[in-house]
């Protein structure tokens, strides 16, 4: 299963520190859930356009049953609590 998350941050809120924290957290998640997360990439948008998102998280999960395990993991929920106030829009897309 493929899981994609797109994020648009509030103006001035998408810092290098925020990007590093997100990237490092998803790297740690992959290490803690190797049987659920087969691959994970965190990408920063390189073209500044009003309609572009700032960040893309691209994951390959073992199965649809892996998604709630990753979503409920304390590393993921903790990151969400820290980042929510900085994010203007968030969208996800899942495909099998």
Question: What is the C-alpha to C-alpha distance for residues 9 and 3, in angstroms, rounded to an integer?
Answer: 20
Q: Which tens digits make up the pLDDT trace of 25-84?
A: 999 999 999 999 999 999 999 998 888 999 999 999 999 999 999 999 999 999 999 999
User: Domains of the chain by range and CATH?
Assistant: 2-95 (3.30.70.100)
pTM over 0.85? The answer is yes
pLDDT exceeds 90 at position 16: yes
pLDDT of residue 48: 85
Taken as a whole, the chain contains a residue count of 96
Residue 51: CA count within 13 A, CB half-sphere: 0
DSSP string, 35-77: TTEEEEEEEE--S--TTS-SEEEEEEESSTTHHHHHHTSHHHH
């Amino acid at each position: 299963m493929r899981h994609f998350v797109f994020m648009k941050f509030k103006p001035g809120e998408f810092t290098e520190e925020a990007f590093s924290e997100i990237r490092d957290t998803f790297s740690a998640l992959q290490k803690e859930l190797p049987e659920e997360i087969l691959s994970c990439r965190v990408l920063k948008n390189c073209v500044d356009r009003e309609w572009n998102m700032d960040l893309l998280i691209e994951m390959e999960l073992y199965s649809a049953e892996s998604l709630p395990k990753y979503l409920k993991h304390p590393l993921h929920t903790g990151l969400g609590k820290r980042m929510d106030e900085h994010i203007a829009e968030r969208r996800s897309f899942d495909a099998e």
